[in-house]
Each structure stands twice: as structure tokens, then as C-alpha cells.
Amino acid sequence: MADIPVLVDVLVQIGLVEINEGRLRPTKTGVRVATQDHQVGGILLAETLIRSGIFSGQIRRLFEVSEIDPTGSLVCSRDLAVGVAPQLTGILRRFSAVSFTDKLRVHAGLVSELDGFWSLLPMAVGPELDFKKDMGNRGELYSYQYCRTQAADGTKVRWVARDDETLGYDIEDLNYNPKRRIEVKASGEEKVRFFLSRNEWNVARELGDAYEVHFWGGVSLKVEAQEEFGKLTRRGYPLIFRGLSSLLDSGALSAVPTQYLVIGNG
């Protein structure tokens, strides 16, 4: 019984049910899944779960430990796939485009589906938008996708902030030596203006040119992510600031202290 509220919240988040005047009722998608899913081997539910973003972390980790073969198919050892993405692996077995023997093989068409923006953008944690968090997720997703499209090997780009928010940066790109560490900032305004935490500031100073900031301006949570990503990249985003120390010293950027520690003298 204690799990029921959690289940209801998940069903609402993935768009299968909605709450109206305190009562639950299925959405159009929910009715379709409930009445037709069994006819297609569970594919409708699987697609809904993937597109909701509920498996965003597992999808990301699966890409990072897999290889893409010359046909565009994703290939990963069975044990490794189950280890990093247990629930996702179970869902994927419903698709005819997936084989699961000693290796997990996902054919190219479904790889594109998994790699879509809807599956990699983390699902909201509640019914109300956490604007700051959701804006941050948008920016990080955009930089993650941008770096992967620019990289010689996209599997070497890691969205590390999804697992650890204390590093002082959000993304690692292992295609470089030394590896690039990337802090991402997103704003609804186009003017370059962002905050760095003390940790981010210290890491930036320590890493020098191996640390960069990506700035995405004009971001709107009301626009579908994939559409907005295309528009923003065509406008020249992200703006990339590499080597903050030298940029500050040259005057290309300026930094203003915004916090003070106040201590009683009594």
C-alpha cells in the first residue's frame, strides 16, 4: 500500500493517467496502452516509458559502455548491459529490433529512438516545474548532445553531473588529452550572465584551459527540446569560454563577488 502513491506519481509523470478534481482517470495515451499494448507485445508501454525520460540515466550509461557498429547498431555485452541498465534492458527485449544473447544488440532504428531528446532529458521529479533545475537539465542535455556530435567518439563524452553534482563541472570529454571538463549554464536571456559556485570557480582556476563553460541563451522550457536545440545551434550556441583565468585577465569576461560571509563579533 505504501508504494501506491509512488506508482500513481510515476503514472502521472509518464502521461498515462491524470488527476482531475482528486480523481484518477486515464489519458488518451493511457487508454491506448491499456487496450492495445497486449496486441503488439508490450511495445506501446515500452515506447511510452522510454520517451518519458524515466530511463534517461540508464540510456546514457548504456551508450557510454557500448559500441556502435558500422551498421549503426548498438552492441554491448549481456552482463555489462544488465549491470548498468537492468530495467531498460528488460524493456528493450520487447522490441523485435533487439537481440539478447551473449550480447545486447539494438538495431540502428531503435538506437535513434533511444538517442532522442525525449529519452535523455531527465523526467521532472514532481508535478510542478522546478525552473532552475529544469533549465539546468536543458542546458546540460544540449551541451552533452553538442559534444557528442562534434566528437570523434561520442561514447567518450560523459554526462557526469547526472551521477555526481560535486565535481565542479557537468560533462567530461575523453576525446582530448587532457580531458575537457565542461560546466554548462543556460538562461532565458541572451546576455551572457551566469553564476559560478565557489567549487566551480576553484576547479576552473585549477584546470586552466582544460576547463570550459558552455552558455546557452534564449532557452525556453515551453519549446520542445529537439526543436530548440536545432534553433540554438544554428544561432551559434553554445558560446564557449575556455580558460576562465586568461579570459578574466584579458578583460573578455569580468567576475563580481555576490556572497559575503557575515560573522558575529560578540
Q: Considering 72, 101, 120, which residue would you say is the last residue of a domain?
A: 120
Evaluate whether 254 touches 222 at the Cβ level (below 8 Å). Answer: no
Same-domain check for residues 141 and 224: yes
Task: State how many domains the chain has.
Answer: 2
Averaged pLDDT, 183-212: 94
Domain annotation covers residue 259: no
Does residue 259 register a pLDDT over 80? no
Task: Give 131's pLDDT tier (boundaries 50, 70, 90).
Answer: confident
Q: What's the average model confidence in pLDDT over 179-195?
A: 95
Residue 128 pLDDT greater than 60, yes or no: no
Query: Is the distance from CB of 88 to CB of 33 less than 8 angstroms?
Result: no
Report yes or no on 177 lying in a domain.
yes
Does one domain contain both 136 and 111? Answer: no
Same domain for 165 and 80, yes or no, is no
The whole-model pTM stands at 0.72
In a domain, 265, yes or no: no
Q: Are residues 139 and 102 in the same domain?
A: no
- Indicate whether 115 and 48 sit together in one domain: yes
Residue 83 lies in a domain: yes
How far apart are the C-alpha atoms of 52 and 244, rounded to whole Å? 37
Q: Are residues 173 and 194 in the same domain?
A: yes
Do the domain assignments include residue 266?
A: no
User: What pLDDT shows up at residue 117?
Assistant: 64
Tell me which of 120, 150, 172 is where a domain ends: 120
Clarify whether residues 28 and 113 are in a common domain.
Answer: yes
Span 154-163, pLDDT tens digits? 878 999 998 8
**Mean per-residue pLDDT, 44-55:** 84
- Mean pLDDT, residues 165-186 taken together: 94
Return the DSSP state at 39.
Answer: G
Which domain-ending residue is among 101, 120, 139?
A: 120
List beta partners, residue 125.
Answer: none
Q: Which helix (H) or strand (E) holds 20?
A: strand 17-20
Q: What is the mean pLDDT of residues 236-255?
A: 90
Report the distance separating Cα 34 and Cα 19, nearest Å.
17
pLDDT at 91 over 60: yes
Domain that holds residue 70: 4-120
Q: What is the mean pLDDT of residues 213-234?
A: 93
Residue 94 lies in a domain: yes
Looking at the fold, whether 142 and 102 belong to one and the same domain comes out as no
Average pLDDT, the chain: 87
Q: Which residue has the higher pLDDT, 117 or 230?
A: 230
Q: Residue 118 pLDDT > 70, yes or no?
A: no
Maximum pairwise Cα distance, the chain: 75
Identify which of 32, 34, 78, 84 has the alpha carbon closest to the alpha carbon of residue 59. 84
Does residue 95 surpass a pLDDT of 90?
yes
Question: For a pLDDT cut of 70, what percent of the chain falls above it?
Answer: 94
- Kindly report, residue by residue over 6-43, the tens digit of the pLDDT: 777 777 777 788 887 778 888 888 899 889 988 888 88
Residues 204 and 150 in one domain: yes
Confidence of residue 127 (pLDDT cuts 50, 70, 90): very low
Q: What is the pLDDT of residue 208?
A: 93
What band does 260 get if pLDDT is binned at 50, 70 and 90?
Answer: confident
In a domain, 264, yes or no: no
